[in-house]
A and B are shown apart, each in its own frame.
Chain A
């Protein structure tokens, strides 16, 4: 098979199009690249959907945690502690078995045991907790003068939040939030590796990489390829988030703008 044919056969393998059977022997570099890249579709899907949906919950959580009323503060604090204080790996397992049990009682929970929804929910809650903590930190470091200025202009309540507090919070949190986004992408590698089964061998990038490593007993080809894809993804995130960062900082003089400093994280 030429490389182009391989790409045609396997590029969408992870979402169920193309050749059903995975290559069994004589693995070429091209097959490695195509299949692992095909698996990246899932990583990108989990990353983007969880990030966007998590963003809104994170804002709520941050506002809740910063609230002076215990009714809002306590649930937000507990939520953040539970998801930041335990390994994502265990959360995946727990959620999967929880959904399995629920599925037995009600058909409604059928799709929850599949990775595309079940794992997504876990990632969504998890990233919401981590970003919520970041936003909370930013919320607390909003310059006093900004809020006083808003008061002086007669802004209050929702319009003050919408026009002054929220944009400033985002601006302050953005460098840390960029790291969180990258970190979330790395965490998507755990999905098929932990509990959620890959149906018909449709897995994510790490699933195919470890498939190759198992079959060839040679980790030196598939894992560096996987790393290559993840680095590409990280660069894409840095690019997009850098643009947003520029926009958030556009009113500031160049020397006081916050630069995005990469701070890689490990497992969560």
Chain B
């Protein structure tokens, strides 16, 4: 990175570290932080959307739809998360490949499952065997996002379902008295008001989502945990111009600090958001704000 980095052996400590921390692999390490943030940025809205649909389904009047919504919530929430993450990624992958297999190679006669092998025709492989490296990585990332969305969607659905039920009945009756249709009542009265009830649960969920991001590592993605292990491991002078001992502890200390910082910032932002949402609501918090303004 810097011009004086040509021969690291001669550098003093500060310069050595400035060179060491800007090597190419370290850049990949920093990029993996962006990967984590990207996962959060994509997953949160998708999970919220899935959760909204799930909550709408769960409170539907049609029995099959509401059963579907409720069982989705119940099943995902009842099983340990890690197992779910491991299970879903393989299952989704196999499902996609199987669907493509049926569509692309209809005259394939052998069974897909041969003993312990899962075999589809070469054209149905996902991603294709000759695809570029980044396609493989993107595909893995996509699977991770879908898995996160399904799992967190169920949790969000549960929170939103609770939030919808917490909106005072009188508010809805008033809307009906004004002659609003069910759809209008839902979108104009229920949805704007439910957020204040759902926000504590949702912010909790957001914290959980932040803390779930290291699971990317389990899904085989080169995330911060992967790089921290890679970079921290003992390097001898034969293989690296920056030899050092086992520094994994320090790398993980850095990750710990990163996550604590994320949590702290989220706490502050969510508290502000709560203040905003409470404004004018029929809750004790809203009442407090009203009194403060009046006083």
**Chain A residues engaging chain B, CB cutoff 8 angstroms:** 25, 81-82, 85-91, 93-94, 97-98, 100-101, 186, 189-190, 193, 206, 209-210, 213, 215-220, 223, 226-227, 230-231, 234, 264-268
Given A81-B260, A85-B263, A267-B212, is A193 in contact with B218 using a C-beta cutoff of 8 Å? yes
Contacts of A266 in B (CB 8 A): 81, 151-152, 155, 205, 208, 212
**Chain B residues engaging chain A, CB cutoff 8 angstroms:** 77-83, 86-87, 90-91, 113, 116-118, 151-152, 155, 205, 208, 210-215, 217-218, 225, 228-229, 232, 246, 248-249, 252-253, 255-256, 259-260, 263-264
Contacts of B256 in A (CB 8 A): 82, 86, 90-91, 94
Q: Which 9 A-B pairs have the closest CB atoms?
A: A85-B263, A97-B249, A94-B252, A186-B80, A264-B77, A87-B211, A86-B259, A89-B214, A223-B87
Given A97-B248, A223-B86, A231-B78, is A90 in contact with B152 using a C-beta cutoff of 8 Å? no
A223 nearest CB neighbor, chain B only: B87
A268 nearest CB neighbor, chain B only: B211
Query: With A100-B248, A227-B79 given, can you name 15 additional A-B contacts, CB distance below 8 Å?
Result: A85-B263, A89-B215, A90-B252, A90-B259, A91-B256, A93-B255, A94-B256, A186-B81, A193-B218, A209-B83, A217-B90, A264-B77, A267-B211, A267-B212, A267-B215
B113 nearest CB neighbor, chain A only: A218
Q: A215 CA to B82 CA in the complex, in Å?
A: 19
Contacts of B86 in A (CB 8 A): 206, 210, 213, 219, 223
Q: Is A87 in contact with B81, judged by CB distance below 8 angstroms?
A: no
Q: A134 CA to B253 CA in the complex, in Å?
A: 26
Least Cβ–Cβ distance between A141 and chain B, in angstroms: 14
Q: Is A193 in contact with B246, judged by CB distance below 8 angstroms?
A: no
Q: A241 CA to B218 CA in the complex, in Å?
A: 32
Q: Is A219 in contact with B155, judged by CB distance below 8 angstroms?
A: no
Q: Which of B208, B218, B252 lies in contact with A93, CB distance below 8 A?
A: B252
Q: A86 CA to B246 CA in the complex, in Å?
A: 23
B247 nearest CB neighbor, chain A only: A97
Q: A4 CA to B91 CA in the complex, in Å?
A: 31
Q: Is A97 in contact with B246, judged by CB distance below 8 angstroms?
A: yes
B212 nearest CB neighbor, chain A only: A267
Contacts of A90 in B (CB 8 A): 214, 225, 252, 255-256, 259
Contacts of B260 in A (CB 8 A): 81-82, 85-86
Q: Is B83 in contact with A87, judged by CB distance below 8 angstroms?
A: no
Q: Which of B79, B211, B215 lies in contact with A86, CB distance below 8 A?
A: B211
